[in-house]
Amino acid sequence: MNEAANIYPSDKRAMQEVSALLEREGIRLDRNLDYTCAIRDDEGHIIATGSMYENTLRCFAVDHRHRGEGLLNRVISHLMEKELERGNLDLFLYTKVASARFFHDLGFYEIARVPERLVFMENQPDGFRHCLSRFERETQAFLTERGLTLGKDDPIAAIVMNANPFTKGHAHLVAQASRENKLVHIFLLSEDVSLVPYAARKELVERGIADFGNVVLHASGPYIISNATFPSYFLPDDDTASVGHAELDLTLFAKIAEALSIRRRYVGEEPFSQVTGLYNKVMREKLPELGVECRVIPRLAIAGRAVSASDVRQCVKDGDWQHLQELVPEATYDWFRSDAAAPVRARIAAADRVRHH
């Protein structure tokens, strides 16, 4: 029997074997992967497999005829060695509920679970708690700086946004939340998987919310709509997977909301993106069950069409500066016309698809 070895995406036959093994074990091959390994038997058949994407481990399976032989241990050890070579020390995985105990024995700790669907785990016992502590410190520093005090019954809200880039639609959503609440938390997705990089998105959001005295900005970290918690947000996926990922992401958000006394989450209507629309649907159903009100706000419309970041990126791609100016705040427009944005303009121009699926 061979050791775990890399399976290259170009090896179509081997990847078909991996996919078939996963399907036999009731697991779907995730299309968001950047490394896959497998163990073969003496006849060359794949009998165990596992994959990863960045610092998340996923898609594990062992042929039922070879269970009890320690194969999954070997697959996980191989993947963790590869992660270490990449410099990734903080690792995440999601797995079937029935497998959670096994991964706990390998040094992974449960963060959250969707009953009968999946369990989200990490290899740091205090990773999620440290993230909550950061949100709490940032909030207290903001309140102190602004001279704000919160009463027990003061309404506190949250908005989660990618802002790829920040549009007049985002500003409209923030303005409504700001009017209706004592404090608003914005969680800006901090993974660099968007056409507009995080540093630029953060700068544009900061400029866009500068006039609101009760809006605090946080980098989301790995626990809010990340490739670990909700990979189907970033890649076309089937609805079943998207629902499971959305439920996991919202379960984690409810824990964050509890720590920060958030009782409302604001979201714009989604007429364009299938995945985001499905996420919003799950959010409307699940958040109230978790003690958080979900407020869906009609999208800001200009010339009869809802404003979207996808349209903004299309304007940049097409060089349609006049329409772009109608859709974004002055700070966003000025940035896109600046020399600093030249690499981003080139990236958007070269992209095959600039609209979110």
Domain range annotation of the chain: 5-89, 128-302
pLDDT of residue 185: 98
pLDDT tens sequence for the chain (357 residues) = 678 899 998 999 999 999 999 989 878 788 778 999 999 998 999 999 999 988 999 888 999 899 889 999 999 999 999 999 999 999 999 888 888 898 999 899 999 988 887 889 999 999 999 999 999 999 999 999 999 999 989 999 999 999 999 999 999 999 999 999 999 999 999 988 889 999 999 999 999 999 999 999 999 999 998 777 765 544 444 555 567 778 888 999 999 999 999 999 999 887 666 777 788 888 999 999 999 999 999 989 998 888 999 999 999 999 999 999 999 999 999 999 999 999 999 999 999 887 764
* Order of strands, sheet of 92-95, starting from the edge strand that comes earlier in the sequence: 5-6, 35-40, 46-53, 56-62, 92-95, 118-122, 109-114
Helices (H), ranges, the chain: 12-24, 71-86, 100-105, 127-146, 168-180, 198-208, 239-260, 274-289, 309-318, 321-327, 330-337, 342-350
Which CATH code, of 3.40.50.620, 2.40.30.20, 3.90.1170.40, 3.40.1790.10, is assigned to 128-302?
3.40.50.620
Cα–Cα distance measured from residue 205 to residue 166, given in angstroms and rounded to the nearest whole number? 6
Structure tokens at 53: 């994407």
pLDDT of residue 335: 96
Half-sphere exposure (CA, 13 Å, Cβ side) for 4?
A: 25
The domain 5-89 having CATH identifier 3.40.630.30: the answer here is yes
Contact in structure between 205 and 328 (CB atoms under 8 Å): no
From the number of C-beta atoms within 10 Å of its C-beta (0-12, 13-18, 19+), residue 186 rates as buried
Distances from the Cα of 175 to the Cα of 172, 181, 203, angstroms: 5, 10, 18
Cα–Cα distance measured from residue 61 to residue 42, given in angstroms and rounded to the nearest whole number? 18
**Which residues fall within 8 angstroms of residue 168, CB to CB, at 6 or more apart?**
300, 302, 307, 327, 328, 329
Contact in structure between 46 and 40 (CB atoms under 8 Å): yes
**Which residues fall within 8 angstroms of residue 345, CB to CB, at 6 or more apart?**
316, 336
Contact in structure between 62 and 47 (CB atoms under 8 Å): yes
In total, the chain counts a number of residues equal to: 357
Closest CA to 333 of 204, 169, 212: 204
Cα–Cα distance measured from residue 11 to residue 279, given in angstroms and rounded to the nearest whole number? 34
Cα–Cα distance measured from residue 73 to residue 195, given in angstroms and rounded to the nearest whole number? 37
